[in-house]
Structure 1
């Protein structure tokens, strides 16, 4: 009888902290994946715009960067920040409501750190980029936009790989 009882109840390590219905979990998961996809898409668009500016020379480069600053960078980065925060919140909710947990597995913990770092990078660079858009900073100082775009692509790409392969196993508690 005890074998039957233990097989019906999940071990304490596999219990979720916040049991949610399958429909709600799938809704949160879709929101998480969609926000991550939007974040990657916005980052690709910003990277393409910066690359177009670098490919130009002289007045063409200045015109491209001015258009980039005026119409694209700040709205793109604000939308990326919103997507990043949505991705972070839904990731935490998924961690609380699934067997993966928030810091139970290394890949989930690393994804959480990557998300926080990427959002922090966006916050850190919004100020200088806003100065660029307002004309307070010279257009030659676009290196930080390129750095942000490339860094975010690397971080988000790595987070995607972690989501698919789920490496490194469980975090051990001592």
Structure 2
């Protein structure tokens, strides 16, 4: 079909063919709303990264703190304050990203970099609920009872992995958002619409 439109445009001298090939977004979003959504997306991603840095600091403080009191407070803070702000910022990032994908030429599954960011965001949201949140009660309890001779639960030694994995994935997603590598999913040209 696109070849027919190109040939028709050449024969008639029309310049309408390139516009016809350009991908149309599924949602109509005005310029102001698109900018607002983009700002919300960037802010929620930044908040998520900041929360992950805070998690890393609390985990390291809990592990290598100078006193049992400081270590216990770090674990209690981790259990009490981390999961829900992280989940809210992750979901805000996911929702704004999906709406932006549906409302811009980038689409959700049109370009590899967008699809990979979507998958990373969804996987990290699931990991917050499935892997991080269930162990937080044990972490908080350990922080309250921390003292000489108190055995360390198995989940405490694994607390380093959530911020390491999340920060790596979020940094990679940020690089993807800036570099926009790999082109179109279905082999189309990077800057154009569907063939």
Give TM class, smaller chain.
Answer: 0.7 to 0.9
Aligned length: 168
Question: Could you say which residue in structure 2 is the equivalent of 1:22?
Answer: 31
String of CA shifts for 1:23-69, please: whole Å, max 9, x gaps: 00000000000000000001001101211222236xx2x43342123
Larger Rg: 2
Higher helix share: 1
Q: TM-score, normalised by structure 2?
A: 0.78
Q: How does 1:15-164 map to 2 (within 5 A)?
A: 15-56=24-65, 60=67, 62-124=68-130, 125-135=132-142, 139-140=152-153, 141-164=155-178
Q: Distance in 2 between matches of 1:130 and 1:4?
A: 64
Does the 8 Å contact 1:132/1:139 carry over to 2? Answer: no
Shift of 1:139: 4.2
Does the 8 Å contact 2:78/2:136 carry over to 1? Answer: no
Q: 1:79 to 1:117 in 2, by over 3 A?
A: same
Task: Give the secondary structure class of the aligned counterpart of 2:185.
Answer: coil
Residue segments in structure 1 that go unaligned for 5+ positions in a row: none
Residue segments in structure 2 that go unaligned for 5+ positions in a row: 1-11, 146-150, 188-195
